[in-house]
Chains A and B, each alone.
Chain A
Amino acid sequence: MANGLFEKGAITGIGETAYTRGSGKSDIALQMEASLKAIADAGLKPTDIDGVIPYAAGAAVAEDFITNFKLPDVRFSATTPLGGASCVAAIQAAVSAVAAGLANHVLIPIGRNGYSGARIGSRVQQMPQFRIVGEYEMPLGTLAPAQLYAHMARRHMELYGTKSEHFGKIATTVRAHAAMNDNALRQEPMTLEDHQASRMIADPLRLFDCSLESDGGAAVIVSASERAKDMVSKPAFIMGVGEGHPDSPSTITQRDDMTTLGTAKAAPRAFEMAGVTHKDIDVAEIYDCFTYIVLCQLEDLGFCAKGEGGDFVASTNFKFDGDLPLNTHGGLLSQAHIVGMNHVVELVKQLRGTAGATQVKDAEIGLVTGYGDMGDGTVAIMRA
């Protein structure tokens, strides 16, 4: 079981739309555009797709892809409703499907108008997974992820001495990568002083600790590994995957340890399946809805012990040519909030050697995470 899905599947196609604030397109059109690019990148025809995992919180269902692409025989469809952890959870589901022979080429699309459509603050109340905080916390005025997650960050700071400057180092490093990426929304430089001067949103989270609201779509194709070897783009083989839900998954308030995410359960499974250690990771694309969530995941992934995230961040060079290259595309913080599918796409580019200005030299093995819905964590480890 330890290596159950080891290299059973590979990402064979990637696609992204332009990331904007004002796409002028529907959510569904963004997903179709990204999907067509991913299918073409894989050297497939749309009609080769026989599995679809639509974004659980999005507008499109599998039937939309069958209709638009005239798919003759979709044999596998599912959804993975884990908020920002959904995309990597969908990779786990897709690899399971291709490993079992249920499908050959599974399309995982995402696309939304997170800026010009329903924006973050108004959207959360309508999500069924937030029913519990919706009844007990939101009527008091604490309703947005920044507000709810701030309690985790404050607790971490009080217990372990973590500082806002640690969050700032993450924000400025990721911004520096966005500045080198033409398809990033925020390319102007950010200094630590800029970070510290940015307005308070939900203390201790400042504006520059928060991810962007943006429009765009991204998609990947997961294919059975034996087919991937003969396809046109260099495959990224999926070595290990893991999904984890924290205790008290629906409300942070009631969680015994609110400084630990579901990532802490997912990561050991992914590393064991992959048969690699942290030293083997050449590049890490870590879900960055908030800077604190990156720091916390670095602990829960095992790059450092719980409570040591501040010191680890302070002493690690996260630049693309540094110790542990982090969010080499600019992340949700500075490229765009594409629910982490932009992280998956970036990891595949890094492993192909096509990541452009922030290409990590000799990147062979990389890690991507998802995080969402109050603490769910997902991890995938891939190789070139």
Chain B
Amino acid sequence: MEIERIHPLPNPESQPYWDGLKERRLMLQQCGECGTIRHYPRPVCDHCFSMEVEWVEASRRGTVHSWSESHHPFHPSFKADLPTMFVTVDLEEKVRLVGVLRDPEATLRVGLPVEIRFEDSPDGAFSMPVLVADRSAGG
């Protein structure tokens, strides 16, 4: 029996983010009024409460904020990937992102420079952020 994977369910506010990942671009919401960047995508700017939205392409550069390596298969579709290192990243744009580490040589520490890359889900249904140490920045 084929194991059903967990898919994102985009809504009109978040669709550009998922479309961007497919195109290998990390797109973030920016307030159309005050210019504040926010993530995860949502309808209202919590700085000025405007609902005007623009999308900007992010630098894909950031630093490690925290991490966790998963060993237990909480869902059968991820069992083959274990152990999996999930990293919370502080992006240069001052929002955070979670991605899977694809860099077995990296030694994680808070502040380690990283670069966001992209990977298709195993069933090809969507693309997701992954990351490697940014050795050009000392990572």
Residues of A within 8 A of B (CB): 121-122, 125, 132, 134-144, 146-147, 150-155, 158-159, 199-205, 251, 253-254, 258
Contacts and interface: CB of A to CB of B under 8 A. Distances in A.
Interface in B110-137: 110, 121, 126, 128-129
Nearest to A144: B74
A247 B97 CA distance: 17
**Chain A: interface secondary structure?**
helix
Given A150-B70, A151-B67, 12 more contacts: A122-B75, A132-B40, A135-B14, A136-B8, A139-B5, A140-B86, A146-B72, A153-B68, A201-B71, A201-B72, A203-B70, A254-B40
A258 B88 CA distance: 11
Contact of B71 (A152, A200, A253): A200
B96 A142 contact: no
B9 interface: yes
Contacts of A154: 66-68
The winner among B39, B40, B100 for most chain A CB atoms within 10 A is B40
Interface string B1-34: 0000111111000100000000000000000000
B98 A136 contact: yes
B128 to A, nearest CB: 5
Nearest to B130: A140
B98 A140 contact: yes
Contacts of B96: 253-254
B65 A155 contact: yes
B10 A135 contact: yes
Given A125-B6, A139-B6, A142-B86, A202 B67 contact: no
A19 to B, nearest CB: 23
Contacts of B52: none
Nearest to A152: B66
Interface in B44-82: 65-72, 74-75, 78, 81
B39 A254 contact: yes
Contacts of A135: 8-10, 14, 40
A150 B88 CA distance: 11
Given A146-B72, A254-B40, A141 B67 contact: no
B94 to A, nearest CB: 11
Contact of A202 (B39, B40, B71, B98): B71
Contacts of B71: 199-203
B36 interface: no
B41 to A, nearest CB: 8
Contacts of B106: none
